[in-house]
């Protein structure tokens, strides 16, 4: 018995001593209970000699020794994963006062060790010494991979754990491009990846967005009839690359209705925070919309009317989303000190207009990368059904196009004795819709999201 006890104590000491003590978060301002729900760490990972990516790591609240490791990335491109921590799946959620935090009973740290990575450089607290924030899909993937290697060097006790890469929105590109690099490293126990409301194919996303808008009564019968007349032939429509001027003019009309009149594109059933925006908001949207939709569809935004002056207020750079509480909290001196953020690092913002404007999208679709990954790794694609930005129709078509063997027909899945959405399971990939959820699923339906990711991590049917 004494020998067994000694071994157990030794294992625990090995586990805890492997962490970088100087980066441990001892307490968080705004948390009532001084004892955090689990160990947390915040600091910087080296992606190059000049690029330092900020991470916030949360150990599992259940079993940090045996639970898997999950990397979480928000999208943009140019938006911070700390929003994922504070408003989606972290152990604490920001309150509207911008100063206090509430424990999250549906945090993904209930079942996994979770890394929140701010990338690329220029996003949130991440930075580059040369302040060059022009990057691309492949460059971002490379830097994220190098940062991940640095994480495993800092936390060697995490290196052999079952590892999953997850993200949402433009994470639909971030996750697969990083996954193919991780897959090639046999020393990493990479098991699979999950993408929520992700951009997976920009042509599919553009074409299905128009259908989505029509099905949700955002565009009317008069416009739809004309779209069918000028944009469709033999029951096949091309809104992404309008075949004629009449279709192009209609696409501009549809785009302005969808994105420019004040409908919340991230939750068509909900309100737009702050009310109906002015035209400057439409200008700001183009910084990020250009990465999600094909250029011809967004033609009207290339030369927007107005004085051309766009203010990148971090509170409302994302249309209809109020990031004021997160922004206030993360920019207080006490929080920056708790997270070990150097004084010379700029203020935190939910998204970087500079990164978004200078980001180079190098892919139109993730299909080839999925086909490289799926033979040996599992995948989950899930979509809140109220999201128009990355709508479920496009991702559903994308998953079907992979031609994976079906394990059964599309069926409802249950959470808390209610239908939570629909699931279609294939041999290596699962597609799920989440009922009554918008773009950020863990924010809208946190309990269902936790059940969904738990089943995925444990390779259990949904």
DSSP one-letter code for 406 = B
Condensed to tens digits (0 to 9), the pLDDT of residues 3-34 reads 444 444 444 444 444 689 999 999 999 998 88
Condensed to tens digits (0 to 9), the pLDDT of residues 134-189 reads 999 999 999 999 999 999 999 999 999 999 999 999 999 999 999 999 999 999 99
Half-sphere exposure of 417 (CA within 13 A, CB side): 0
CATH architecture of the domain with residue range 19-200+364-457: 3-Layer(aba) Sandwich (3.40)
Residue 130 appears among annotated catalytic residues: no
How many residues can be counted in the chain?
Answer: 462
Strand bridging mode 359-360 / 135-136: parallel
pLDDT of 7: 44
Same fold across 19-200+364-457 and 202-312:
yes
Mean pLDDT on 427-437 = 98
Helix (H, G, I), strand (E, B) or coil at 33: coil
pLDDT of 321 higher than 90: no
Q: Say whether the peptide bond before residue 120 is cis (omega within 30 degrees of 0).
A: yes
Q: Which of 126, 116, 165, 137 is nearest to 352 (CA)?
A: 126
Q: Give residues with Cβ within 8 angstroms of 212, minimum separation 6.
A: 388, 391, 393
pLDDT of 158: 96
The residues spanned by each domain of the chain are 19-200+364-457, 202-312
What's the mean pLDDT when you consider all of the chain?
A: 90
Whole-angstrom distance, CA of residue 120 vs CA of residue 296: 27
Half-sphere exposure of 60 (CA within 13 A, CB side): 17
Helix (H, G, I), strand (E, B) or coil at 210: helix
H/E segment holding residue 382: strand 378-384
Among candidate residues 169, 202, 281, 352, the one labeled active-site is 169
Residue 169 appears among annotated catalytic residues: yes
pLDDT of 18: 66
pLDDT of 262: 86
Condensed to tens digits (0 to 9), the pLDDT of residues 92-125 reads 999 999 999 999 999 999 999 999 999 999 999 9
CATH number of 202-312: 3.40.50.1820
Structure pTM?
0.92
Among candidate residues 387, 395, 415, 424, the one labeled active-site is 387
* % the chain with pLDDT above 70: 90
First to last CA, the chain: 41
Phi, psi of 168, rounded to the nearest 5 degrees: -140, 165
């Amino acid at each position: 018995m004494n020998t067994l006890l000694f071994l157990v104590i030794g294992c625990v000491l090995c586990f805890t001593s492997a962490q970088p003590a100087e980066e441990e978060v001892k307490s968080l301002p705004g948390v009532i209970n001084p004892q955090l729900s689990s160990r947390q760490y915040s600091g910087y990972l080296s992606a190059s000699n000049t690029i330092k990516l900020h991470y916030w790591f949360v150990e599992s609240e259940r079993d940090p020794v045996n639970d898997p490791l999950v990397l979480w990335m928000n999208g943009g491109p140019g938006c911070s994963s700390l929003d994922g921590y504070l408003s989606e799946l972290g152990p604490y959620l920001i309150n509207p006062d911008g100063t206090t935090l509430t424990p999250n009973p549906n945090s993904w740290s209930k079942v996994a060790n979770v890394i929140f990575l701010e990338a690329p450089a220029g996003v949130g607290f991440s930075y580059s010494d040369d302040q060059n924030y022009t990057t691309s899909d492949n460059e971002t993937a490379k830097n994220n991979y190098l940062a991940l290697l640095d994480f495993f060097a800092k936390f060697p006790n995490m290196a052999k754990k079952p590892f999953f890469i997850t993200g949402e929105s433009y994470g639909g590109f971030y996750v697969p491009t990083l996954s193919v690099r991780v897959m090639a490293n046999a020393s990493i126990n990479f098991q699979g990846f999950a993408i929520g409301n992700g951009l997976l194919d920009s042509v599919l996303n553009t074409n299905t967005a128009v259908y989505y808008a029509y099905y949700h009564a955002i565009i009317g019968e008069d416009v739809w009839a004309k779209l069918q007349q000028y944009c469709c032939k033999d029951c096949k429509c091309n809104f992404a690359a309008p075949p004629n001027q009449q279709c192009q003019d209609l696409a501009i009309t549809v785009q302005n209705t969808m994105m420019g009149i004040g409908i919340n594109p991230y939750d068509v059933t909900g309100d737009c925070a702050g009310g109906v925006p002015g035209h400057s908001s439409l200008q700001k949207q183009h910084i990020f919309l250009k990465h999600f939709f094909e250029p011809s569809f967004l033609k009207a935004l290339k030369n927007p009317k107005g004085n051309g002056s766009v203010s990148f207020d971090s509170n409302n750079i994302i249309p209809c989303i109020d990031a004021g509480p997160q922004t206030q909290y993360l920019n207080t001196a006490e929080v920056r000190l708790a997270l070990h953020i150097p004084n010379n690092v700029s203020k935190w913002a939910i998204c970087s207009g500079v990164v978004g404007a200078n980001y180079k999208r190098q892919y139109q679709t993730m299909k080839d990368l999925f086909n490289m990954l799926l033979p040996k790794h599992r995948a989950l694609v899930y979509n809140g059904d109220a999201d128009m930005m990355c709508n479920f129709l496009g991702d559903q078509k994308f998953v079907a196009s992979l031609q994976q063997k079906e394990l059964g027909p599309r069926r409802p899945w249950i959470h808390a004795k209610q239908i939570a959405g629909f699931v279609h399971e294939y041999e290596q990939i699962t597609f799920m819709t989440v009922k009554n959820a918008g773009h950020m699923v863990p924010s809208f339906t946190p309990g269902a999201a936790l059940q969904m990711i738990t089943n995925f991590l444990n390779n259990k049917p949904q």
